[in-house]
């Protein structure tokens, strides 16, 4: 089959590939602990499920407006205004099936051949994939362990050219769990305003902050006009399979993104949107309980990893991932790279993890482990990793 040329530029998410390999091992009777996939292991809170059922029974089974149901757009505008301390109106909100389409649609709307987009590396792999897919140049911005997985603002400045159309930030961060400081956010905002660049601010982990407070770049004057906030329900309310997310952006851009929705999905499923209103307006205790559980697991996994000789792991401030440095183990085991070590851990230890390079070239020497798993499973994984690493001598 002759595919369009652009398909050769489309990347993927390694987590799904590793999941398939881990499942294949399980089918052979092996016991595997899954730390590869980034999704809460909790069930969606029951009040949200009940709201969806009620919606289905009361006729929310039809097409709706491409940008989302007005009542959900209003609820999102209110929630985002409150959580970020800004003033958002519903016309700035576009509801999509998950937060991911906001990346796709806004990168596609704002950049193309000849343009440049700066993105975090290591970072969520879909950023680089989509930038390349639309024909723009993907410009990596290094996040380093020395900076607790944030970037050097002078390096960001040096990467900006007259062709830069967008800067992507993600805080709390997947895969490193780092958070951008107030100073870094402010400096990024100044650069964006000075050069008239849009910032795609992926804030999907807003509720999973364990140290300090969540800060949005939109808090700085003039930034609402220069920002697309990406957020959704997957991580905050354990709703990954529902496919419900949104973007908040200038109205002019929202109209274009809604047009892309009309051209692709028509609209987001109506009954899930009604459930989204319940998620935002209903009781929040389940969501807070999940965040507290993640914090407890974070402390256990970080301590356990640091006890394994050759592995050192920073304490992440948010999200549900750790990004341990495994350079010494890679060397000791004579592995070609971190990916070879990740393969060894799956085969030898029965623990599915990702190589840091699944998130870009600057992830070399690191692994990513998701701690969205039970404490018994995390303890089992730590023991098995420890044993497999000890075998390397």
Cβ 321 to ligand PLP, closest distance in Å? 9
Q: Should residue 286 be labelled a site residue for ligand PLP when binding is judged by CB under 6 A? A: no
Q: Is residue 102 helix, strand or coil? A: helix
Cβ 172 to ligand PLP, closest distance in Å? 9
Q: Judged by CB, which is closer to ligand PLP: 245, or 324?
A: 245
Number of residues that bind ligand PLP (CB under 6 A): 13
Q: Should residue 318 be labelled a site residue for ligand PLP when binding is judged by CB under 6 A? A: no
Q: Should residue 99 be labelled a site residue for ligand PLP when binding is judged by CB under 6 A? A: yes
The closest residue (CB) to ligand PLP is 98
Q: Should residue 174 be labelled a site residue for ligand PLP when binding is judged by CB under 6 A? A: yes
Cβ 35 to ligand PLP, closest distance in Å? 14
Please give the C-alpha separations between residue 166 and each of 51, 137, 193, in angstroms, as whole numbers.
38, 11, 11
Angstrom distance (rounded) from CA 138 to CA 92: 27
Q: Should residue 355 be labelled a site residue for ligand PLP when binding is judged by CB under 6 A? A: no
C-alpha torsion sign, points 357, 185, 127, 163: negative
Cβ 101 to ligand PLP, closest distance in Å? 7
Q: Judged by CB, which is closer to ligand PLP: 60, or 320?
A: 320
Q: Judged by CB, which is closer to ligand PLP: 206, or 385?
A: 206
73-81, 98-106, 141-149, 346-354 -> range binding ligand PLP (CB under 6 A): 98-106
Q: Should residue 268 be labelled a site residue for ligand PLP when binding is judged by CB under 6 A? A: no
Q: Which residues of 291-306 are buried (b: 16+ CB within 10 A; e: fewer)?
A: bebbbebbeebbebbe
Angstrom distance (rounded) from CA 374 to CA 322: 15
Q: Should residue 45 be labelled a site residue for ligand PLP when binding is judged by CB under 6 A? A: no
Q: Judged by CB, which is closer to ligand PLP: 236, or 349?
A: 236
Angstrom distance (rounded) from CA 265 to CA 244: 13
Angstrom distance (rounded) from CA 134 to CA 363: 24
Q: Should residue 129 be labelled a site residue for ligand PLP when binding is judged by CB under 6 A? A: no
Angstrom distance (rounded) from CA 196 to CA 165: 8
- Looking at 38, 120, 122, 350, which residue binds ligand PLP (CB under 6 A)? 38
- Looking at 121, 218, 234, 355, which residue binds ligand PLP (CB under 6 A)? 234
Q: Which two tokens stand for residue 371?
A: 């701690």
Q: Should residue 177 be labelled a site residue for ligand PLP when binding is judged by CB under 6 A? A: no
Give the relative orientation of helices 70-84 and 270-281 as an angle to the nearest 10 degrees.
30
- Looking at 240, 273, 355, 357, which residue binds ligand PLP (CB under 6 A)? 240
Q: Judged by CB, which is closer to ligand PLP: 232, or 360?
A: 232
Angstrom distance (rounded) from CA 358 to CA 363: 7
Q: Which two tokens stand for residue 209?
A: 């902050």
Q: Identify the burial level of 62 via C-beta atoms within 10 angstroms of its C-beta, where 0-12 means exposed, 13-18 middle and 19 or more buried.
A: exposed
Interaction pattern, residues 193-212, with ligand PLP; x per rule: CB under 6 A:
---------x-x--------
Helix%, strand%, coil% for the chain, nearest 5: 50, 15, 35
Q: Judged by CB, which is closer to ligand PLP: 233, or 344?
A: 233
User: Could you please report the per-residue DSSP string of 38-77?
Assistant: -S-SSPPPHHHHHHHHHHHHTT--S---TT--HHHHHHHH
Angstrom distance (rounded) from CA 172 to CA 178: 6
Q: Judged by CB, which is closer to ligand PLP: 16, or 288?
A: 16
Interaction pattern, residues 214-233, with ligand PLP; x per rule: CB under 6 A:
------------------x-
Cβ 44 to ligand PLP, closest distance in Å? 13
Q: Should residue 90 be labelled a site residue for ligand PLP when binding is judged by CB under 6 A? A: no
Q: Should residue 170 be labelled a site residue for ligand PLP when binding is judged by CB under 6 A? A: yes
Residues that bind ligand PLP (CB under 6 A): 38, 98-100, 124, 170, 174, 202, 204, 232, 234, 240, 245
């Amino acid at each position: 089959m002759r595919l369009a040329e652009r398909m050769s530029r489309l990347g993927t998410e390694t987590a799904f590939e590793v999941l398939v390999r881990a499942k294949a091992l399980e089918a052979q009777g092996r016991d595997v602990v899954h730390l590869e996939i980034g999704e809460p292991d909790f069930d969606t809170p029951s009040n949200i499920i009940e709201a969806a059922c009620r919606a289905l029974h009361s006729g929310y089974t039809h097409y709706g407006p491409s940008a989302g149901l007005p009542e959900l757009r209003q609820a999102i505008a209110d929630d985002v205004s409150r959580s970020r301390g800004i003033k958002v109106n519903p016309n700035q909100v576009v509801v999509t099936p998950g937060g991911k389409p906001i990346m796709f649609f806004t990168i596609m709307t704002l950049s193309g051949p000849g343009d440049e987009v700066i993105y975090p590396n290591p970072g969520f792999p879909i950023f680089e994939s989509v930038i390349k897919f639309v024909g723009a140049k993907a410009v990596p911005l290094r996040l380093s362990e020395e900076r607790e997985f944030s970037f050097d603002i002078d390096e960001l400045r040096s990467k900006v050219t007259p062709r830069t159309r967008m800067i992507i930030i993600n805080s709390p961060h997947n895969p490193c769990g780092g958070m951008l400081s107030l100073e870094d956010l402010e400096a990024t905002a100044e650069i964006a305003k000075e050069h008239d660049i849009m910032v795609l601010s992926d804030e999907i982990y807003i509720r999973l902050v364990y140290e300090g407070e969540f800060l949005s770049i939109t808090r700085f004057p003039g930034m609402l006009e220069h920002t697309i906030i990406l957020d959704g329900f997957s991580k905050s309310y354990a709703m990954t399979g529902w496919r419900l997310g949104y973007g908040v952006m200038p109205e002019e851009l929202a109209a274009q993104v809604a047009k892309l929705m009309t051209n692709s999905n028509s609209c987001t499923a109506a009954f899930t949107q009604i459930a989204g209103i319940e998620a935002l307006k209903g009781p929040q205790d389940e969501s807070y309980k999940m965040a507290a559980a993640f914090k407890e697991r974070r402390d256990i996994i970080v301590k356990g990893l640091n006890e394994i000789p050759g592995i050192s792991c920073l304490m992440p401030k948010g999200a549900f991932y750790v990004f341990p440095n495994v350079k010494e183990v890679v060397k000791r085991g004579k592995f070609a790279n971190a990916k070879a070590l990740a393969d060894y851990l799956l085969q030898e230890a029965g623990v599915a993890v990702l190589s840091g390079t699944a998130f870009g070239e600057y992830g070399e020497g690191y692994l990513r482990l998701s701690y969205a798993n039970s404490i018994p499973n995390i303890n089992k994984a730590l023991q098995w990793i420890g044993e497999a690493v000890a075998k390397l001598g």
